């Protein structure tokens, strides 16, 4: 397992913890979310020839899909080994790396489309579609807009978040609140 694969797995574990409902000592739900044990993760590792002449060679990346057993896919992430240092804190790629950045964003967009469009995955109609690029310890979160384009998610004035900072935890808490998860009684 590479460092990048380890980072994507750590992010998956963090995401699942933040997306699960919290129950207090009396058994009351203190934070809405998915039931414990409902979310699972699928991680794949890919090697792909890059079609870009400015970045010849093979790009190695991990592909993560977090799914609810009841409700289908809820989050997609892509982490590329060659991605360290490709983004500045405001989300911009240096000129020499823009083609690679666009290429990896295109991979993320394709993964989001396939995960949420495939009716075999049973995606929930009307649910938000989120994804992330993970590179090193940094995470950039995207949301699919109504025209099926990736839009940066800016949170607390930042586009790029460090996996160890509390901001990514707060962002995930905000994201899970957008899902219309029925409670145990079947109501939203």
Tens of pLDDT along 145-172? 888 788 889 888 888 887 666 788 889 9
Determine, yes or no, domain membership for 184.
Answer: no
pTM, rounded to two decimals: 0.76
Report d(CA 97, CA 161) in Å as an integer. 19
Determine, yes or no, domain membership for 155.
Answer: yes
Determine, yes or no, domain membership for 186.
Answer: no
Determine, yes or no, domain membership for 187.
Answer: no
Question: What are the CA-CA distances from residue 135 to residues 43, 69, 77, 81, 115 (Å)?
Answer: 15, 28, 11, 7, 21
Range of the domain at 165: 3-176
* Residue 1: pLDDT band with limits 50, 70, 90: very low
Determine, yes or no, domain membership for 188.
Answer: no
Determine, yes or no, domain membership for 170.
Answer: yes
Neighbouring C-alpha atoms within 13 Å toward the C-beta of 102: 10
Q: Contact at 8 Å (CB) between 21 and 32?
A: yes
Determine, yes or no, domain membership for 168.
Answer: yes
17-52 confidence digits (pLDDT tens) = 999 998 888 888 888 899 999 999 988 877 666 666
Determine, yes or no, domain membership for 105.
Answer: yes
More confident residue, 49 or 184: 49
Question: For the chain, what is the domain count?
Answer: 1
Most confident of 37-51, 53-67, 129-143: 129-143
Percent of the chain topping pLDDT 70 = 69
């Amino acid at each position: 397992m590479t460092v990048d694969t380890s980072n994507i797995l750590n992010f998956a574990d963090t995401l699942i913890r933040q997306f699960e409902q919290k129950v207090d000592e009396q058994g009351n739900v203190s934070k809405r979310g998915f039931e414990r044990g409902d979310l699972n993760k699928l991680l794949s590792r890919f090697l792909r020839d890059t079609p870009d002449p400015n970045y010849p060679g093979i790009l190695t990346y991990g592909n993560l899909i977090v799914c609810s057993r009841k409700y289908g896919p809820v989050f997609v992430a892509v982490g590329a080994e060659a991605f360290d240092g490709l983004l500045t804190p405001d989300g911009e790629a240096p000129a020499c790396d823009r083609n690679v950045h666009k290429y990896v964003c295109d991979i993320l967009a394709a993964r989001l489309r396939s995960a949420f469009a495939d009716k075999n995955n049973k995606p929930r109609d009307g649910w938000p579609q989120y994804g992330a690029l993970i590179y090193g310890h940094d995470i950039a979160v995207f949301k699919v807009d109504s025209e099926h384009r990736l839009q940066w998610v800016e949170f607390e004035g930042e586009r790029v978040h460090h996996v160890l900072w509390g901001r990514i935890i707060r962002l995930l808490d905000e994201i899970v609140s957008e899902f219309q998860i029925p409670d145990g009684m079947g109501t939203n």
